[in-house]
Amino acid sequence: MAISPPPKRIWWNEPVHGVEIGWIAVTVLWGLFMFFFMIAWHFIGQQNLSTETYRVQPHAYQARVEAFAERFKVGEENGTPVVRPPAGEDVYILARLWEWWPILELKRGQSYRIHLSSVDWQHGFSLQPTNINISVHPGYEHVITLTPTETGQFGIICNEFCGIGHHRMTGRIRVTE
């Protein structure tokens, strides 16, 4: 029920007012601008990650991460291995209820290919305080290239609700000289 119904029941045959045509044109132009600017922003904005994504079986990915952690383990913190891979090496991080595993130690100024996947639910990989944020799904392996520019300890936070222990799901990446 309209406040003031159209004088004719077949309203779509009525002529369109010039102001309406103007608003439709503005809307179409704005939509086209936003569409093309989203593509351009990937290249000029330097904010979007260029990632690779592959299909992977969760149990196979978990075995790969465990082998990686065993190979480059340098210590342990609260039962979680601390892993220091050589520069340029592929680095693996596993998301599972409710942890990011293992703890990584990387060198400042060196590039690493970081592989991310989950073995159970969807998780969010948010590296704090940087602006890296990826949704991590089971069955998919995400690969990002990371070159740390600052030393310090960086937190990994899960920002996709993954269950009752979600608020405790954290991990760490240490960057040293």
Domain 52-176 CATH (choose: 2.120.10.30, 1.10.10.10, 2.60.40.420, 3.40.640.10): 2.60.40.420
Domain residue limits, the chain: 14-44, 52-176
Q: Which of 4-18, 45-59, 79-93 has the lowest mean pLDDT?
A: 4-18
pLDDT digits (tens, 9 = 90+) for 109-155: 999 999 999 999 999 999 988 878 889 999 999 999 888 999 999 99
pLDDT band of residue 46 (cuts 50, 70, 90) is low
Who has greater pLDDT, 10 or 23? Answer: 23
* Residue 71, φ and ψ in degrees, nearest 5: -70, -40
Q: Residue 48 has what pLDDT?
A: 60
Q: Where are the alpha helices (DSSP H) in 45-107?
A: 58-72
What is the C-alpha to C-alpha distance for residues 130 and 156, in angstroms, rounded to an integer? 10
Sequence-distant (≥ 6) Cβ neighbours of residue 52 within 8 angstroms: 142, 143
